[in-house]
Structure 1
Amino acid sequence: MNVGYGEAMVLECPDPACRNGLFVMLIDGGGNEPSEFADRSSGRVPMAEYLSGRGLDHIDVMVSTHIHEDHICGFLPLLEHWTPRELWQTLPVEFYRRMRPLDVPEGVTASQSKFLRALNDYGRLCALVESRGSTIRTITAPARMELCRDLTVQVLAPSGPQAEELKDLLAGVYDAEPAAFWSRLNQLDARMNNFSLMLRLDYRGTRLLLPGDTNCMGYGGLEKADLQAHLFKVGHHGQRDGVSQEQLRAVAPDAVVCCASSDRRYNSADPGVLTMAASGGAKLYFSDCPPVPGAAEPLPPHQALVFTVGPNGALEGRYLPL
């Protein structure tokens, strides 16, 4: 979905065993800041509004890849209309109960404000999901699961020890004395991307690699064969550190998706990264409408980028117009 600077995905897979014959999985929910959607000329739309327009009637699995505002805060408005059957995340299920609401004082940086709100919304999200009788599931590598007929997911990261490290770092923020609080908060914020859930979906042999905000430093220990995918959602919004050339060669994608805002905020949709992906033969796609190096025409305004896996693994991408 086009949520501006953020990520939000919906996966729909036919299965007669599922409600209304359809398995529905959400992977991240974008942000929830009104300013992100003040200008909708490129097609930006909050996730809840987009899904309401599609007539969605259920959510089987909701996945929070990591706790950053532009990935998790858009989930809360969804709970006004839907409750997922399961919420996937990486922390121990009981951990959210020790997370007290954190003040967001005036004068903090924009990054600090966003991260504090993300932590608060994560705690609220878990509490609401559990209060409605749904399951909160801790997901770490190397778990492999069958989601529905013909669709499996392989969790590539984080490992159990990495998830335990994240829990300890987060506990250190909540247990910190006032003098150490901001330092610990900033350190965790800077490291959070590489605690992202990295998922590889396989539908009848067509692979989709979704690394969350994992950047090029977060691929350590992964086997090259595990990275190969037909579609690759580049990490960290296509910033310069989003992926290395060696990693791109290992993935060898036919299509690369970059979730960058039309204004290329924070130097997302880095021209060097995009050129590197295109030079390897991949076709480039975008959730929003940033400028594309060498493109003859600008991207069309769109609410979403839709991929369909067809017969014999055919992968078709198209922009959903306004």
Structure 2
Amino acid sequence: MRTARTTLLLLSTFLLSTNIAMAHPGATDAKGGHTCRTNCAKWGLEDGEYHYHNGNGSTQTPTPTESPNSSGDAKLKADKIKPPAKGKLSVYFLNVGQGDATYIKTPAGDDILIDAGKNEAGDVVVDYLKQLGVDDLEIMISTHPDADHVGGLDTVLTHFKVESVYAPKVSHTTDTFKDFLLAVKKEGLTIKEAKAGVTLPLKGVKASFVGPVKAYGDDLNEWSAVLHLAYGTNAFLFTGDAEKKSEADMIAAKKTLKADVLKTGHHGSVSSTSPALLKAVSPKYAVISVGDNSYGHPAATILNRLKSANVTTYRTDLNGTVTAISDGKKISFLKVK
């Protein structure tokens, strides 16, 4: 059993100047509820449990039919997908339900994983990687500590050798995040900081973090590691859950954001993909990683914004795993549902 001393040691040594969020933040959805992020036990909740706050300060959990992700995600199975194209850049926006997970195979053969969905998606991501013939990962990126991004990474770490792990300098108090830290430590790895200006050591492609530009306190989404990856004249932007503050800071810092393919922030929430960011990126394609939820993801506002900008949009909840192949000059998408 994990001791309190071990947990405290892990959190204190994760990234020395990390500030741990001690509040209970989270914007409410259209129903007035949200998921618990921090100090859940204090509120009588489980980590990630969906709930409402009553006027008297107590909390109320919804009935199973009201709960987000109450149908679909628990029955997740890996889609049947085609192996990477040799000598080309292959990007798989994996279908992991309400969460994020992206696998990238570079033309030189390097393997990159960005996030791995919720805890229950870990085995699904492992299945995907095995389908694709992955035997190790050169780079693993945890965009931020939210459970629907970091949840499955510990499972991946137990199944594959990973050379380098990157994450922003922000911590969290949930067991899900602690499990990730423990798995990294067990593999004898040290987490490298993901922040604007850090370049990944990859051959044949240019991959650099363009966010986070600043520190964002306990706003975990804004801390998201944002990766810009270019191959030839083609480029991709992977945004995690970065929201409008981070988007504005990246634009103000004049980071390279222009890309052919945009992985939309925060599952298509209105909190992200601002008109300013969309103009800066000017994508031809957008991919929304999303599953069954009651948050209203993806928002009609965002879908209409993308449509008005003539952006071809794919969704993992409708299209399953979305696969993009680049030869450095042209991007093609494999047939989707």
SS at match of 1:80: helix
Distance 1:319 1:120, change over 3 A: farther
Preserved CA contact (<8 Å) 1:129 1:136: no
Structure 2 partner of 1:218:
246
**Cα RMSD after superposing both structures:** 2.3
Distance in 2 of aligned mates of 1:148 and 1:71: 26
> Cα distance, 1:146 vs. partner?
4.3
Contact 1:30 1:46 in 2 (8 A): no
Match of 1:206 in 2: 234
SS at match of 2:250: coil
Is the alpha carbon distance of 1:319 and 1:264 closer, same or farther for their aligned partners in structure 2, counting shifts above 3 Å? farther
Asked if 2 retains the 8 angstrom alpha-carbon contact of 1:206 and 1:309, the reply is: yes
CA distance in 2, matches of 1:210, 1:79: 21
Q: Aligned residue for 1:317?
A: 333
Shift in alpha-carbon separation, 1:209–1:69, aligned structure 2, 3 A: same
2:325 matched to which residue of 1?
308
Determine if contact 1:225/1:250 at 8 Å carries over to the other structure: no
| Structure 1 counterpart of 2:193, one-letter code | T
Counterpart-to-counterpart distance in 2, 1:158 and 1:249: 19
Amino-acid identity (%): 24
Give the secondary-structure state (helix, strand or coil) at the position aligned to 1:156.
Answer: strand
Matches within 5 A, 1:98-247: 116-130=174-188, 134-149=189-204, 151-159=205-213, 162=215, 188=218, 191-223=219-251, 226-247=256-277
Q: Is the 1:140–1:158 Cα contact (8 Å) retained in structure 2?
A: yes
In 1, Cα distance between equivalents of 2:206 and 2:243:
24
CA distance in 2, matches of 1:220, 1:282: 21
In 1, Cα distance between equivalents of 2:335 and 2:314:
9
Pairwise CA distance, 1:143: 2.1
Candidates 250, 256, 262, aligned match of 2:286: 256
Task: Give, in angstroms, the shift of residue 7 of structure 1.
Answer: 0.4
Equivalent residues of 2:248, 2:277 under 8 A apart: no
What is residue 84 of structure 2 aligned with on the other side? Answer: none
What SS class does the counterpart of residue 219 from structure 1 fall into?
helix
Runs of 4+ in 1 over 4 A off after TM superposition: none
Could you tell me whether the CA contact under 8 Å between 1:67 and 1:122 is conserved in 2?
A: no
CA distance in 2, matches of 1:275, 1:204: 30
Counterpart check, 1:27 vs 2:55? no
Separation in structure 1 between the aligned mates of residue 104 and residue 230 of structure 2, nearest angstrom:
12
Distance 1:265 1:54, change over 3 A: farther
Deviations 1:207-241 (Å, cap 9, x if unpaired)?
A: 11111100123223323662211110110100111
Secondary structure in 1 matching 2:271: coil
CA deviation profile, 1:25-66 (whole Å, cap 9, x unmatched): 001111123xx79xxxxxxx8211221222211111000110
Is the Cα contact below 8 Å between 2:143 and 2:226 reproduced in 1?
yes
Deviation at 1:137, TM superposition (A): 1.5
Judge which range, 216-225 or 264-273, deviates more: 216-225
Q: Indicate how the Cα distance of structure 1 residues 47 and 265 shifts in structure 2: closer, same or farther if over 3 A, else same.
A: farther
Cα displacement string for residues 251-274 of structure 1 (whole angstroms, at most 9, x for unaligned residues): 11000111111x343111111101
User: 1:271 aligns to what?
Assistant: 300
Q: Deviations over 1:87-130 (max 9, x none)?
A: 111239xxx8xx9xx6xxxxxxxxxxxxx233222322321232
- Whether the 8 Å contact between 1:13 and 1:24 is mirrored in structure 2 is yes
2:105 to 6, 9, 12: 12
Where structure 1 has 5 or more consecutive residues not aligned to the other structure, the ranges are 16-21, 38-44, 103-115, 167-187, 290-298
TM-score by length of 2: 0.66
User: Distance between the aligned counterparts of 1:51 and 1:60, measured in 2?
Assistant: 13
Question: TM-score scaled to structure 1, two decimals?
Answer: 0.69
